[in-house]
Amino acid sequence: MSLQIQSGVSLKPFNTFGVDVRARLFAEAHSDADVREALAYAAEHKVELLVIGGGSNLLLTRDIDALVLRMASRGVRITHEDCGMAVVEAEAGEPWHPFVQDMLAQGLSGLENLSLIPGTVGAAPMQNIGAYGVELKDVFHSLIALDRQTGELREFTLPECAFGYRDSIFKQQPGRWLILRVRFRLSFSATLHLDYGPVRQRLQEQGVTEPTPIHVSRAICAIRSEKLPDPVTLGNAGSFFKNPLVSAELAARIRESHPGLVAYPQADGQVKLAAGWLIEQAGWKGFREGDAGVHQLQALVLVNYGAASGRDLLNLAQRIQADIHERFGVSLEMEPNLY
């Protein structure tokens, strides 16, 4: 067996919160064969298999009594070019931001608004990552996943993925599909998305009058670096709560007492509220209890100042949820997966 399985491994280096819990068993998959060996081992030894990527969407609240398999497969290739478009296939273990930068360096656009998002390519479709007016579904072509129930490979097209706001069929059917590689449809001629958040303003401040995809990526990297802490220096999982969707009636009631409400009307009549704005209005921004806290510059980000446990962070998140519901009647949903 080529798969190297270790016992009692600390997962602190493998989750961006830097929570120190241990995995009963741990291995890294560098190929499809490694994945199949891990599945076979888990079945033979009757242990759960937990698959992780970059650990940027995890909150670990306990030791993991399972075989933790970290996807570490690497490789990027252009599979098709036609009419100024290219289909690019990337292995699940490719780190996301370096992949984005590599595509931009090759003159391919579409991913620039998704710059500096932590994690891996294989994890990106799980929650249909999105930022600054672009979601993964907007540049998605297809993916190959392994059905853990049957062992068969399946190709998923865009409609079959059932992408929604931070959602997909892979999130709706947890534990069934193991994403092996993802294909993106990118363009050699840019169609830039500049009107979400401060992107256009930042480009103007930088003196950029005719922006390219690389300019947009640099602007977004600068914005994200100012707003979001680097997990290397301060443990976090990025945005901890989803922006909630509420009825237009509820949004109107909140605006009566809070005229500055940050809200985005949706095509279906609902209204998307800025979770960070709600949390900041409730006074949680900069809050700290022990080593668990809310970031001083971005209320949407929970942080580990050093020795916070996953349980400490979860308790803080639940207190915030309860407070926001009491104050505004809004239910906040956590983004990270809890274990």
With beta carbons less than 8 A apart as the criterion, state whether 55 and 14 touch.
yes
Torsions phi, psi of 286, nearest 5?
85, 0
Structure tokens, 260: 């500055």
185 is catalytic: no
Q: Which of 28, 37, 94, 166 is catalytic?
A: 166
- Scanning 66-142, the segments in alpha helix (DSSP H) are 96-105
239 is catalytic: yes
- In whole angstroms, what is the distance from residue 16 CA to residue 218 CA? 23
Closest C-alpha among 180, 166, 121, 95 to residue 337? 166
Residue located via tokens 């103007």: 204
225 is catalytic: no
DSSP-derived letter for residue 191 is -
Structure tokens, 32: 């499809």
Q: Which of 115, 217, 239, 309 is catalytic?
A: 239
Positive or negative: CA dihedral 118, 60, 164, 228: negative
- In whole angstroms, what is the distance from residue 164 CA to residue 56 CA? 20
With beta carbons less than 8 A apart as the criterion, state whether 301 and 309 touch.
no
Closest C-alpha among 182, 235, 227 to residue 14? 235
Tell me which residues are annotated as active site.
Answer: 166, 239, 335
